[in-house]
Structure 1
Amino acid sequence: MTEALTKVLNSYGLITGFAFIGVVMWISYWMSDKFTKGRLHGSAIAILIGLILSYVGGAYSGGQKGLVDISLLSGIGILGGAMLRDFAIIATGFGVHVDELKRAGVVGVVSLFLGVLTSFIAGAAIALMFGYTDAVSVTTIGAGAVTYIVGPVTGAAIGASSEVMALSIAAGLVKSIVVMVATPFVAPYIGLNNPRSAMIFGGLMGTSSGVAGGLAATDARLVPYGCLTAAFYTALGCLLGPSLLYIVTKAFLG
């Protein structure tokens, strides 16, 4: 029975990958609801579990690709590949309507650029502090501080190593968790209690899961407004990361 099941799972690797990720997502959202009351978004827990499983899989198999080196879970390599990643990003971009952004006014647009630049500068500074001096690595880690989506997209475009891209994802994950946890506490002090301020907040913070979780814990009615500009933030970061930000960083580092 076990041999037959293993054979079927190995033969349909993509379906097995979908099922495995589905189970991880279910566990993540269950943990979010039961242990954090929704304050820590399920997607952030899922990413954290994914990073841990990747390390465990690599240590177990002795390979270089984490869980993908385990034949039973090889289908995850397709789901985590560049093709589906870029498809998800493009799909998100097509779901955003430019007319909606006008509701935030000029301040909303400025918050997008300000949010991307400040996050990138902070991430790049941390990369330099830890000894990274080449433009590719600094740009990738800085882009990861923008969001954990912008980091690997930028890294893949400019030729960063898998280790640096993993660091960029980790940087984005830390930012996402901090935004989720801190938002309810700082909301009363920054006037985060209306749709316009929520859109500006989403533009400054950018991380969609962090903004969604933080606003949900603050006032669930504000979530759609914050996520609106957060979606633009991700698209803007993916546009600026491998182009303007990389050029400027390369010029700065010589």
Structure 2
Amino acid sequence: MLQMLERTVAHNGLVASFALVGLVMWIASIASHKLTFGRVHGSAIAILIGLALAYAGGAFTGGAKGIADVPLFAGVGLMGGAMLRDFAIVATAFEVQPAEARKAGMVGVLSLLLGTVLPFIVGACVARAFGYTDAVSMTTIGAGAVTYIVGPVTGAAIGASSDVIALSIATGLVKAIIVMVGTPLAAGFMGLKTPRSAMIFGGLAGTVSGVSAGLAATDRRLVPYGALVATFHTGVGCLLGPSVLFFATRALAGA
């Protein structure tokens, strides 16, 4: 009976991955309500659980794909891939009312540019402070501070080492978690009450997962607007990272 169940799960990896993620979200939601009284959104707790499972899966199998290296949960690799991720982002953006989106105007564009450049500068400075003084490493880690997708894309384009690319991903994940946890706490101070303010916040924060989870814990109606602008960070960062930002960093820091 157990062997038949294992074969069924192994042959339906994507279905099993949805079940696993659903279980994690259910546990995270309960933990959010019972332990933090809703102050920390369930998505933030779910990401921490996911990171722990990824580490445990990699340590158990000796692989490089985390829990996806476990045959029963191989479908997690497909579920977490670019296809379904981009589908979810596009589906979220379809909830936006065009009339409200136009209200952001040039302020939204400016926030998008600031939200790309400022995190890059902070990330590059921190990288230099910790001994990564070459332009390639500084640019890669700085790009990771924009989003955890921009970091590896930029690093691969300019020839960064795998260790530096891993650091850029970790930088982006830390930023996403900080935004998730910090948004509900600072929402009153930032005035996150309207679609326009949510779009400006999404442009400055930059991480789709962090902005979406943070706004969901603040006001679910604002999620599509914040995610709409934050989504552009990946494209803008991937364009500017290996080109303008890299050349600027190399000019200032040297080769």
Q: Secondary structure at the match of 1:131?
A: coil
Asked if 1:45 corresponds to 2:45, the answer is yes
Asked if 1:92 corresponds to 2:94, the answer is no
Contact 1:44/1:173 (<8 A) preserved: no
Asked if 1:16 corresponds to 2:7, the answer is no
Q: How many residues align?
A: 251
1:227 is aligned to 227
Q: Report how far residue 117 of structure 1 moved.
A: 0.6
* Inter-partner Cα distance in structure 2 for 1:118 and 1:241: 13
2:138 is aligned to 138
Contact 2:184/2:214 (<8 A) preserved: yes
**Structure 1 stretch 226-235 or stretch 199-208: which is displaced more?**
226-235
1:128 is aligned to 128
Change (3 A) 1:78 1:200: closer
Asked if 1:171 corresponds to 2:171, the answer is yes
* Inter-partner Cα distance in structure 2 for 1:220 and 1:64: 35
| Deviations, residues 166-193 of structure 1 (Å, cap 9, x unaligned) | 4333322322232233334444444444
* Inter-partner Cα distance in structure 2 for 1:241 and 1:49: 30
1:154 is aligned to 154
Contact 1:41/1:210 (<8 A) preserved: no
**Structure 1 stretch 38-47 or stretch 52-61: which is displaced more?**
38-47
CA RMSD of aligned residues (A): 3.3
Contact 2:13/2:74 (<8 A) preserved: yes
Q: Which runs of 5+ in 2 are unaligned?
A: none
**Structure 1 stretch 215-224 or stretch 170-179: which is displaced more?**
215-224
* Inter-partner Cα distance in structure 1 for 2:123 and 2:194: 30
Q: Secondary structure at the match of 1:132?
A: coil
2:72 is aligned to 72
Contact 1:180/1:214 (<8 A) preserved: yes
Change (3 A) 1:68 1:155: farther
**Structure 1 stretch 186-195 or stretch 61-70: which is displaced more?**
186-195
Q: Secondary structure at the match of 2:103?
A: helix
| Deviations, residues 93-142 of structure 1 (Å, cap 9, x unaligned) | 69478886532121221111011111111112222222223444333322
Q: Secondary structure at the match of 1:5?
A: helix
Q: Secondary structure at the match of 2:132?
A: coil
Asked if 1:249 corresponds to 2:249, the answer is yes
* Inter-partner Cα distance in structure 1 for 2:90 and 2:186: 29
| Deviations, residues 174-220 of structure 1 (Å, cap 9, x unaligned) | 22232233334444444444443332222111223333343444445
Contact 2:100/2:195 (<8 A) preserved: no
Contact 1:47/1:173 (<8 A) preserved: no
2:5 is aligned to 5
Contact 2:147/2:206 (<8 A) preserved: yes
2:211 is aligned to 211
* Inter-partner Cα distance in structure 1 for 2:171 and 2:125: 12
Contact 1:119/1:145 (<8 A) preserved: yes
* Inter-partner Cα distance in structure 2 for 1:123 and 1:237: 13
Change (3 A) 1:232 1:21: same
Q: Secondary structure at the match of 1:63?
A: coil
**Structure 1 stretch 233-242 or stretch 156-165: which is displaced more?**
156-165
For residues 103-122 of structure 1, the aligned pairs below 5 Å read 103-122=103-122
Partner amino acid, structure 1, of 2:137 = S
